[in-house]
Every structure is written in structure tokens, then in C-alpha cells.
């Protein structure tokens, strides 16, 4: 169980002291912004992107940074391919998560594990932008010159067990997700930045197969 949850935290996560986001201002409930984000999510079929992941653990004085490539295809096919400083692949497909760690493959079933089922749904909803409508969270909207920032506080006891709070950043030009952050219950955090995004370009079927 702990290993499965650790994998989930590799995919999304962060700890954030909200004062550090002081350049953001509160946006009153705004149906127009929500509609634009929802329209983006509804039209989303594929994403291809580079990503940088920064993992911070409270007992360490340094931030561990890794890089890689990310693919998403409707419905719920995802591949996280870490390339630096180590090679490591996580594939989510057909209700299973497969991990390739240096040629050694491990497989977990999503269904039947209530916490991981919710984590998988949250990961997918975070990438698509549909999480703003998720009743398991209290949602607050903020903005600065470049981004809309969505703060999510979990309501569900199961989600609270592993998530203290989440933040999603939508760029103001295309309304796609540019950054995802999540506070873990332990106080650890991860920040994932997406770059060089391609939206709705075809993805070869081979991307979602681990040899």
C-alpha cells in the first residue's frame, strides 16, 4: 500500500505555504472562467509534453529534480517517462499501472484499492482540468498576470488521508494545465511543470505499450 501511494505522489504533488503565492489575488466565483477551463477539458483528446518534477522532503535540505516526457490520451491512458537523472517509466492503462524500473516491470491493479482508485481519478482530472467540478474538493480561484490558480481542499476523509491541499495552474492563453502541486499529509511536496505542450496531436499506439 505505501509503495502504491508513493507512486501516486510521484505523479502529482507538492507542499505550499500559501504566503509564497502572494502575487495571486482572489477571483470571485466566475462562471466564464470555469466555462473556458471546462471547454478546454471537453475538447482535450491528447497531450504530449516535457516535464520537470521537483520533489521536496521535509527531512532533506535539498530539492530532488527529475525530468522526462509525458503523454496522455483519452480515456485515462498516461505515460510518465523519466529520463533524468534516472530512467523510469510509469504507464497507466486499462485500469492497471505498470512500472518499468531499469527493465524490471511491476504491475498493480487500480480497481479494488479505494485510495488508489481515487488517486488515479484525481491525477486524470488534474491533467484534464475537470477537477474543478469534483465534489470531493472545496475549490477557490486566484489569478496573476500569467495564470489562474485553483486551490483545492479535500472534503473526503479518504482523500484527506493522503492530500492536504492541491493547486493547479492554468495558463491564461490556452487554459491548459501548466503546473500541478499537491500538499501531502506528511508535509512533503512535489511540483510538476509542463513545457513544450502539444494538444490533440496524434500519439502512436506504441507509446502506451511497455516492451
Find the largest Cα–Cα distance for the chain: 50
pLDDT band at 82 (very low <50, low <70, confident <90, very high): very high
191 neighbors 50 (Cβ within 8 angstroms): no
Q: What percent of the chain has pLDDT over 90?
A: 13
pLDDT score recorded for residue 81 = 92
Residue 120 has pLDDT above 70, yes or no: no
pLDDT digits 0-9 by tens, 39-59: 777 788 898 999 998 887 777
pLDDT score recorded for residue 102 = 79
25 neighbors 145 (Cβ within 8 angstroms): no
Contacts of 117 (CB under 8 A, 6+ apart): 110, 111
193 neighbors 38 (Cβ within 8 angstroms): no
d(Cα 99, Cα 4) in Å, to the nearest integer? Answer: 11
177 neighbors 194 (Cβ within 8 angstroms): yes
How far lies 208's CA from each of 59, 73, 94, 139, 176, in Å?
36, 9, 10, 32, 22
pLDDT score recorded for residue 49 = 93
pLDDT score recorded for residue 128 = 67
pLDDT score recorded for residue 27 = 87
pLDDT digits 0-9 by tens, 121-156: 776 776 666 767 777 788 888 999 888 898 888 887
pTM > 0.85: yes or no: no
pLDDT band at 33 (very low <50, low <70, confident <90, very high): confident
Domain 2-208 in CATH: superfamily? Lipoprotein localisation LolA/LolB/LppX (2.50.20.10)
Q: Indicate the range of 69-73, 177-181, 184-188, 191-195 predicted with least confidence.
A: 184-188
pLDDT score recorded for residue 4 = 43
Nearest to 136 by CA among 163, 173, 171: 163
More confident: 64 or 11: 64
List 107's β-bridge partners, or say none: 98
In eight-state DSSP terms, residue 158 is: H
Residue 70 has pLDDT above 90, yes or no: yes
How far lies 205's CA from each of 9, 93, 101, in Å?
26, 12, 21
Residue 206 has pLDDT above 70, yes or no: yes
Amino acid at each position: 500500500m505505501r509503495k502504491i501511494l508513493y507512486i501516486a505522489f510521484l505523479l502529482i504533488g507538492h507542499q505550499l505555504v500559501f504566503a509564497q503565492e502572494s502575487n495571486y489575488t482572489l477571483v470571485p466565483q466566475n462562471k466564464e472562467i470555469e466555462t473556458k477551463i471546462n471547454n478546454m477539458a471537453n475538447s482535450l483528446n491528447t497531450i504530449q509534453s516535457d516535464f520537470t518534477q521537483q520533489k521536496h522532503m521535509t527531512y532533506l535540505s535539498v530539492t530532488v529534480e527529475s525530468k522526462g516526457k509525458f503523454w496522455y490520451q483519452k480515456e485515462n491512458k498516461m505515460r510518465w517517462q523519466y529520463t533524468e537523472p534516472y530512467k523510469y517509466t510509469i504507464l497507466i492503462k486499462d485500469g492497471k499501472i505498470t512500472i518499468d524500473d531499469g527493465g524490471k516491470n511491476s504491475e498493480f491493479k487500480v480497481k479494488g484499492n479505494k485510495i488508489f482508485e481515487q488517486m488515479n481519478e484525481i491525477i486524470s482530472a488534474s491533467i484534464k482540468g475537470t477537477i474543478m467540478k469534483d465534489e470531493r474538493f472545496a475549490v477557490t480561484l486566484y489569478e496573476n498576470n500569467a495564470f489562474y490558480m485553483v486551490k483545492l481542499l479535500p472534503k473526503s476523509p479518504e482523500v484527506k488521508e493522503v492530500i492536504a491541499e492541491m493547486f493547479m495552474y492554468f495558463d491564461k492563453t490556452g487554459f491548459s494545465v501548466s503546473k500541478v502541486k499537491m500538499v501531502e499529509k506528511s508535509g512533503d511536496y512535489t511540483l510538476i511543470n509542463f513545457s513544450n505542450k502539444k494538444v490533440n496531436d496524434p500519439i502512436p499506439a506504441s507509446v502506451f505499450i511497455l516492451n
